[in-house]
Homo-oligomer: A and B are copies of this chain.
Amino acid sequence: MANVFGNILKLSLFGESHSDAIGIVIDGLPAGLPVDMDAVQTEMERRAPGRNAFSTPRKEGDAPHIVSGLFNGKTTGTPLCAIIQNTNTRSKDYTPQLLRPSHADFTALCRYHGFSDYRGGGHFSGRLTAPLVFAGAILKSYLASQGIEIFAHIKSLKNHQDVAFDSVNPDKETYRKLKNEMLAVLNKEIATKMAETIESAKMVQDSVGGVIEALITGLPAGLGSPFFESVESRLAAMLFSVPAVKGVEFGSGFGITELLGSQANDPFCLKDGTVKTKTNHNGGINGGITNGMPLCFSVAVKPTPSISKPQETVNTETQKEETMEIHGRHDPCIVPRAVCVIEAAAAIVTADLLLEAKTYAEPASKRN
């Protein structure tokens, strides 16, 4: 029930858009993990607003400050807490009585009986993904030390489709470069069209969404468990934590339902003496457990709900229907900034799975 996630790693997320700070406590980290604050900052900036034409001009200065759990540049193994100050909160007039459509204003009102902090969306603010990105940055370096990498790109933006990742023979060198792109898209022509689409939406005070595809390479076979602790269950639980995500699919996902079994099944083969699959419709997961192929999934990110266009709503004070306009700085599309959030979410779950796998790594006796 609480904002605590993970089996071995435990993450506690806190903060509101206009509270003093936001932050995260990460417990269960391996001791002795080097923390490269430059690498962390690079990830933070991938998420930060004001980075390009498609995002809000506000400069948040998302510089995480590590309060505990770090000693001589390495993790201590005890809880690591990082804080990000909320320095740039405008003191403006809020009208919490006007429920912003598709935002959490109404549900927060019901859930917290009117006591939640409504300023800037409060605890529901997309800004809370910054601590997730921080955690992801720490854990990506852990995963890298184990030979595991995470890639993501914009698979589609509105109706523009990028080429899909190759989840059988991933071109890691190319995918790695995506992290430096304004728009993480493989097909540069499509990228231009996507940029135009975002710009057009902005012009008409509207917004657009898209699909982000991610790939995790270097995973050993045998992570995860059947049923409630399936890799899909755990990744999906984290991915659906990210605001605006409305769909998650693995491998061919919804598309697999249009295939015949003979097409959807991934034939096994031997590659350098190791069991692999020839295709990867199952996204690297069978029976809830990784099979050693790249893990592949996609998430649907809805159009930014904050739009300046007039919208119909209810005024909870007057108890009357009303029309509202949402002013202020808002991304016409959060998909570009969400790419590294999705990577972070994947890194968190993957690291948790990897640590947990140590508990079932050695058989209690030899196989007969």
Please determine whether B3 and A266 come into contact, CB atoms closer than 8 angstroms.
no
**Total A residues in contact with B, Cβ cutoff 8 Å:** 170
Interface centre among A32, A114, A226, A277 (most CB of B within 10 A): A226
In chain A, residues 1-26, which have Cβ atoms closer than 8 Å to a Cβ of chain B?
Answer: 1-16, 19-23, 25
- Contact (A31, B112) CB under 8 Å given A232-B245, A300-B249: yes
Q: A364: which B residues are within 8 A, CB to CB?
A: 30-34, 74-75, 142, 145
Which of B83, B206, B257, B264 is A156 in contact with, Cβ under 8 Å? B257
Please determine whether A368 and B264 come into contact, CB atoms closer than 8 angstroms.
no
In chain A, residues 249-276, which have Cβ atoms closer than 8 Å to a Cβ of chain B?
Answer: 249-254, 256-270, 273, 275
Please determine whether B74 and A261 come into contact, CB atoms closer than 8 angstroms.
no
Please determine whether B68 and A14 come into contact, CB atoms closer than 8 angstroms.
yes
- Contact (A68, B12) CB under 8 Å given A30-B363, A210-B257, A261-B307: no
Please determine whether B112 and A76 come into contact, CB atoms closer than 8 angstroms.
yes
Which of B5, B108, B128, B287 is A108 in contact with, Cβ under 8 Å? B287
Please determine whether A123 and B226 come into contact, CB atoms closer than 8 angstroms.
yes
- Contact (A207, B267) CB under 8 Å given A227-B13, A289-B104: no
Please determine whether A226 and B71 come into contact, CB atoms closer than 8 angstroms.
no
In chain A, residues 22-77, which have Cβ atoms closer than 8 Å to a Cβ of chain B?
Answer: 22-23, 25, 27-28, 30-34, 65-72, 74-77
Q: A75: which B residues are within 8 A, CB to CB?
A: 115, 364
Q: How far is the CA of A278 from the CA of B311 in the complex (A)?
A: 12
Q: Does A179 contact B (CB under 8 A)?
A: no
Q: A241: which B residues are within 8 A, CB to CB?
A: 227-228, 230, 233, 288
- Contact (A236, B248) CB under 8 Å given A23-B81, A31-B363, A365-B33: yes
Please determine whether A79 and B2 come into contact, CB atoms closer than 8 angstroms.
yes
Give the contact stretch, choosing among A164-172, A184-192, A313-321.
Answer: A313-321
Interface centre among A31, A107, A277, A365 (most CB of B within 10 A): A107
Could you list 6 A-B pairs, sorted by A, with CB under 8 Å?
A: A2-B228, A78-B123, A101-B267, A158-B257, A233-B236, A256-B303
Beyond A106-B286, A108-B287, A207-B261, list 10 extra A-B contacts (CB 8 Å).
A2-B229, A4-B228, A32-B367, A77-B115, A111-B224, A256-B302, A261-B309, A268-B313, A270-B320, A282-B302
The 5 A-B residue pairs with the shortest CB-CB distance, nearest first, are A104-B287, A207-B261, A110-B222, A247-B249, A107-B289
